[in-house]
């Protein structure tokens, strides 16, 4: 049994560490990933006997991926579909930040506002972002505007709430001190409240980025003329499962890249945290 790591080592950081047999463990991991692909290939070969194309082989998917980078499907190449989705994601996301951060700071700073508005926000959060797709269709049809709106709705609450939590973390003593030292309201906002709440804000931004991306994909699956979600929907309609899988891959990779960008940005903007700690 591998409980030895529990017993011989103290401190929670040790739980994550690999030591002597790290190569052995890495080998197991690589082996299981290879096994996953082998299983996939076997499943593809078996199902192809009865339903051709229902499960494409990994090789087929890789070929389709290479093909779609240069050849158009559903009107555009894969990179163009991804960029098109990203543009709508960016639009909704930027709006969510521009409106959400000030609102969150307001909630955090004024207690009565927070207490009055947060129950409504709490309730709205229980409505999944996808549930806003039908009303967005009612309001704007199923075009680009309604998709950007979906991204906004999916991203907005996470940003507002995390900003509010971040802003209400500010020690009132610090505010009083800076006030005594002559800082005006704007300076207190810029030099005290913003730096202190920034890490919390970024936590929300990270969730918001991923929420918005997922909601956009759902919206594109339901209606649209361009985008990765649309690409997948078209692949499904044409019975081209390899294209569906390529689209899934593109969605996951884009989501991972967006997440990395937000993390990098947050590290960059809160560099002072480490030096302070």
Terminal alpha carbon distance of the chain: 38
Residue 109: CB partners within 8 Å, gap ≥ 6?
167, 168, 193
Q: Among residues 188 and 200, whose Cβ is nearest to other proteins?
A: 200
Q: Among residues 21 and 69, whose Cβ is nearest to other proteins?
A: 21
- Min dist CB 176 to other proteins, Å, is 23
Q: Is residue 246 helix, strand or coil? A: helix
Q: How is residue 131 annotated by DSSP?
A: G
Q: Among residues 55 and 188, whose Cβ is nearest to other proteins?
A: 55
- Min dist CB 149 to other proteins, Å, is 13
Q: Among residues 108 and 188, whose Cβ is nearest to other proteins?
A: 108
Q: Among residues 101 and 209, whose Cβ is nearest to other proteins?
A: 209
- Min dist CB 71 to other proteins, Å, is 20
- Min dist CB 263 to other proteins, Å, is 7
- Min dist CB 212 to other proteins, Å, is 10
Q: Among residues 193 and 211, whose Cβ is nearest to other proteins?
A: 211
| Helices assigned H by DSSP within 4-143 | 4-8, 22-50, 58-70, 78-109, 111-125, 133-140
- Min dist CB 16 to other proteins, Å, is 8
Q: Among residues 78 and 158, whose Cβ is nearest to other proteins?
A: 158
Six-digit token string for 81 = 């579909």
CA distance 202 to 147: 24
For residue 138, what are the CA distances in angstroms to 85, 125, 132, 135? 21, 21, 10, 5
Q: Is residue 270 helix, strand or coil? A: coil
- Min dist CB 163 to other proteins, Å, is 9
Q: Among residues 143 and 236, whose Cβ is nearest to other proteins?
A: 236
Listed residue (77, 93, 92) closest to 140, CA to CA: 92
Q: Write the secondary structure of 76-87 as one string of H (helix), E (strand) and C (coil).
A: ECHHHHHHHHHH
Six-digit token string for 263 = 């993390």
Q: What are phi and psi of 77, to 5 degrees?
A: -80, 165
- Min dist CB 91 to other proteins, Å, is 19
Burial class (CB in 10 A: 0-12, 13-18, 19+), 136: buried
Asked if 215 and 154 count as a contact pair (C-beta separation under 8 A), the reply is yes
Six-digit token string for 23 = 């190569």
């Amino acid at each position: 049994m591998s409980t030895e790591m529990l017993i011989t080592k103290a401190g929670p950081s040790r739980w994550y560490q690999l030591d002597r047999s790290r190569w052995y463990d890495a080998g197991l991991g690589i082996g299981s990933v290879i096994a996953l692909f082998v299983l996939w290939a076997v499943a593809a070969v078996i199902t192809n006997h009865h339903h051709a194309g229902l499960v494409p082989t990994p090789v087929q998917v890789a070929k389709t991926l290479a093909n779609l980078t240069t050849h158009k499907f559903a009107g555009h190449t894969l990179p163009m579909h991804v960029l098109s989705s990203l543009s709508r994601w960016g639009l909704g996301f930027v709006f969510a930040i521009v409106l959400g951060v000030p609102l969150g700071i307001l909630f955090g700073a004024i207690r009565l506002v927070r207490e009055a508005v947060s129950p409504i926000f709490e309730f709205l959060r229980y409505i999944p972002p996808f549930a806003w797709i039908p009303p967005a269709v009612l309001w704007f049809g199923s075009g680009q505007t309604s998709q950007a709106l979906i991204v906004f709705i999916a991203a907005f609450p996470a940003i507002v709430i995390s900003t509010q939590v971040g802003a209400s973390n500010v020690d009132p003593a610090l505010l009083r001190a800076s006030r005594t030292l002559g800082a005006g309201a704007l300076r207190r906002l810029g030099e005290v409240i913003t730096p202190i709440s920034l890490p919390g804000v970024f936590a929300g931004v990270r969730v918001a980025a991923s929420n918005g991306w997922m909601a956009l994909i759902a919206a594109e699956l339901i209606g649209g003329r361009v985008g990765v979600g649309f690409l997948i929907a078209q692949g499904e309609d044409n019975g081209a499962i390899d294209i569906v899988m390529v689209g899934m891959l593109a969605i996951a990779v884009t989501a991972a890249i967006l997440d990395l960008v937000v993390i990098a940005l947050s590290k960059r903007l809160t560099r002072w945290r480490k030096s302070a700690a």
